[in-house]
Amino acid sequence: MKDTKHNDGVPIMDAEAIWRALRRIAHEIIEQNADLKSVVLAGIPLRGVEIARRLSEFIREVAKIDIETGTIDVAMHRDDVGTRAELPMVHASKLPLPLEGRTVIIVDDVLFTGRTARAAMDAISSFGRPARIQLAALIDRGHRELPIRADYVGKNLPTATREQIQVRLKETDNEADAVWLFKE
């Protein structure tokens, strides 16, 4: 992972744009899930967890409902174990159980190849059998390698594969909310 040098990066979204995008996604979640109480927002560490928390706050403001949130770590469900020279930290997953009859919305910061979303679906199924699984991402940068699409997208951002997208959030990165594009 490259160290962030913001002077090399192109700003794509600022704090205001992220705030508006997430508030819109929250409205879409409310609109598309008549049984809002059955929804679980499952964030993928690190930033997906924070985005899920923010979405739950928007939903509480608008719909006056406390929806449950969880964490879904995908490291042990990935399909590239054994191909990397170094392994990142695995975190524990936490989901409200049982999942039967519920709608689990996977929340991530960036949707790229779709492999993380696939691993997340695999992980969720080891906890039970939810009624449906949906996918929300702040950024969809394209280049899918699997037949996966997002149900809720903050911003569609066409990119080249060699470019990097970095999402920065106050709570996880100790700097102002922003999305940056880095040319390789």
Residues that bind another protein (CB under 8 A): 1, 46, 73, 75-78, 81-94, 97, 122-123, 125-128
**Are 44 and 73 contacting, i.e. CB atoms less than 8 angstroms apart?**
yes
Closest CB 94 distance from another protein, rounded Å: 7
Dump the DSSP string for 99-155.
-BT-EEEEEEEEESSSHHHHHHHHHHHTT--BSEEEEEEEEE----SSS---SEEEE
Nearer to another protein, 28 or 173 (CB): 173
Closest CB 85 distance from another protein, rounded Å: 5
Closest CB 62 distance from another protein, rounded Å: 32
Q: Are strands 9-14 and 178-182 parallel, antiparallel or unpaired?
A: antiparallel
Phi, psi of 120 (to 5 degrees): -65, -40
Indicate the residue type of 162.
R
Nearer to another protein, 25 or 167 (CB): 167
Nearer to another protein, 73 or 140 (CB): 73
Q: Please state, in angstroms and rounded to a whole number, the distance separating the CA atoms of residues 155 and 25.
A: 10
Q: Are strands 178-182 and 164-168 parallel, antiparallel or unpaired?
A: antiparallel
Closest CB 174 distance from another protein, rounded Å: 12
Nearer to another protein, 87 or 146 (CB): 87
Nearer to another protein, 73 or 108 (CB): 73
From residue 85, how far is each of 2, 82, 88, 93, 141 by CA, in Å? 16, 8, 10, 24, 26
